[in-house]
Structure 1
Amino acid sequence: MSPEPFELRIQHGIAGGFAPPRVSAVHDLSLKTSGTSHILLLSQFPLDKEVQQNKLNSKNIPISDDTTKLIQELEGILRKLPTETVPSADIYNRNIGIFWQGADGFTWANSAPQGCGGFEGGAVVTEDDKKAFNRAVEITEILVTRGIAQESA
């Protein structure tokens, strides 16, 4: 069982303000075609000069039933979470941005590509929303870890 095609970006370091955010890691995951056996992962670490000097290779995350369930859970969470019409504040207070685009046109983002200002956003976020967002971050960390583990396997 393969998930529907999607594109996902996880960015660590979205909060800025007077100065732009300090992005420490960006992970892009994509599945372009249904029935594919791997999810493509590309990671960048802008603050780590040693890593940036080395060529960053893409990695493949094998699609298993467990991986498919995690991706479906992540999309389900994001479909329920509030976001700002124009994401401009770190409303979940995690300094982590998630950008999702699904095959059906559903998109979700909690940060603008250039980051967020250091002020309160206009969206109302409950404690349950924050817990759900934390689970979404946990899922993204599991997926990225699986991709990194493939590199050393």
Structure 2
Amino acid sequence: MPPADYYVRLQHGIAGGFAPPTPDSVYTIARSDGIASLAITAAVRPDGTPELQEAAPKSLALDDASGTLVDELHSILRSIPTESPPGSEDIYGLDTSIFWGSDDLEWYNGGPQGCGGGFSEVKATEEDKTKFKRAVEIIKELVNKVQ
């Protein structure tokens, strides 16, 4: 079970090189202790535009179904690796990063500035990649509940 306070960030577009990556979308989900809802924000870059366009923040009641999804996400992230060194390689091959921050777990792939090339000492197995895809699906499912 995840802690009462947590922050999740999903970013599509993490591949970089000499320049930092240009994200296609960034979604965040946050929960504060004592609040029975999730704060959700979305920023999407429409095709052909240079910048993300932010939508108004929304909230989602933390019911049993949403809580179960968050529990599953927390469990998945505890079980899969990140690249080493951070930001060296997109080991999941989806041009996507997830950041989870809570008292009991800080997990992120892609590094703070995305993946800038290089090789990771840690590689994801096919099972890890399947779990990561499921983690992405869970975040999208939670975000889509308020869209």
Q: Which bracket does the TM-score occupy, shorter chain normalised?
A: 0.7 to 0.9
> Match for 1:122: what amino acid?
E
TM-score (norm 1): 0.84
Corresponding residue for 1:8? 8
CA distance in 2, matches of 1:127, 1:50: 33
Whole-Å Cα distance in 2 between the matches of residues 16 and 143 of structure 1? 28
Q: Given that residues 12 and 96 in structure 2 are in contact (C-alpha distance below 8 angstroms), is that contact kept between their aligned partners in structure 1?
A: yes
Mapped to 1, the partners of 2:79 and 2:3 lie a distance apart of 19
2:39 equivalent to 1:40: yes
Q: Deviation string for 1:36-66 (max 9, x for gaps)?
A: 22100111124557973xx631100111101
In 1, distance between residues paired with 2:142 and 2:113?
24
Identity %: 39
- Would the aligned equivalents of 1:3 and 1:71 in 2 still touch at CA under 8 Å? no
Q: Which runs of 5+ in 1 are unaligned?
A: 149-153
1:111 paired residue number: 110
Per-residue deviation, residues 113-142 of structure 1 (Å, max 9, x unmatched): 211123332212111111111111111110
What is the alpha-carbon distance in structure 1 between the residues aligned to residue 120 and residue 50 of structure 2?
33
| Structure 1, 137-146 or 17-26: larger mean CA deviation | 17-26
Number of matched residues? 143
Q: Does residue 56 of structure 1 match 2:62?
A: no
Amino acid at match of 1:25: S
Q: Which amino acid aligns with 1:95?
A: D
Equivalent-residue separation in structure 1 for 2:133 and 2:85 (angstroms)? 21
Partner SS, residue 76 of structure 1 = helix
CA distance in 2, matches of 1:3, 1:78: 14
* Correspondence for 1:94: 94
Cα RMSD of the aligned pairs, angstroms, is 2.1
Instruction: Report the alpha carbon displacement of residue 17 of structure 1 after superposing the two structures with TM.
Output: 1.7
Decide whether the 8 Å contact of 1:25 with 1:43 is kept in 2: yes
Gaps of 5+ in 2: none
| Structure number having the greater helix percentage | 1
TM-score (norm 2): 0.87
Are 1:129 and 2:118 an aligned pair?
no
